[in-house]
């Protein structure tokens, strides 16, 4: 029962973080939301009893990819400009 609740909470967090990643205009906030998404994916892998995949996802997805995104954002503009329609 507790495992089912954990799955539901992680899946809800995945949906929320994916939507926030898409809608944020601040690129740094979007990168951090993507990091949260990646961390929740690694947590889901751990719950599904795949700790080796969870560790790899946490290290590469949440750690390295987020660092690369933040470095790339530092070299550009932080805020996405509004489209003129």
Please give the backbone phi and psi of residue 78, each rounded to the nearest 5 degrees, phi first: -75, -35
- What value does the mean pLDDT take over residues 55-70? 90
Check: CB of residue 33 under 8 Å from CB of residue 56. no
- With 80 as the cut, is the pLDDT of residue 80 above it? no
Q: Among positive and negative, which fits the CA dihedral 72, 76, 81, 85?
A: negative
In a domain, 39, yes or no: yes
pLDDT digits (tens, 9 = 90+) for 6-58: 899 999 999 999 999 999 988 999 999 999 999 999 999 999 999 999 999 99
Chain centroid, CA 14 distance in Å: 8
Instruction: Please report which confidence band the pLDDT of residue 81 belongs to, taking 50, 70 and 90 as the band edges.
Output: confident
In a domain, 51, yes or no: yes
Instruction: Please report which confidence band the pLDDT of residue 84 belongs to, taking 50, 70 and 90 as the band edges.
Output: low
In a domain, 84, yes or no: no
In a domain, 79, yes or no: no
Count of domains forming the chain: 1
Domain range for 38: 2-74
């Amino acid at each position: 029962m507790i495992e089912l609740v954990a799955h539901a909470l992680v899946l809800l967090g995945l949906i929320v973080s994916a939507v926030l990643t898409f809608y944020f205009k601040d690129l740094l906030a979007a990168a951090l939301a993507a990091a949260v998404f990646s961390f929740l994916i690694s947590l889901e892998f751990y719950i599904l009893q795949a700790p080796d995949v969870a560790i790899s996802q946490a290290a590469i997805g949440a750690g390295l990819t987020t660092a690369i995104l933040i470095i790339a954002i530092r070299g550009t503009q932080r805020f996405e400009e509004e489209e003129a329609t």
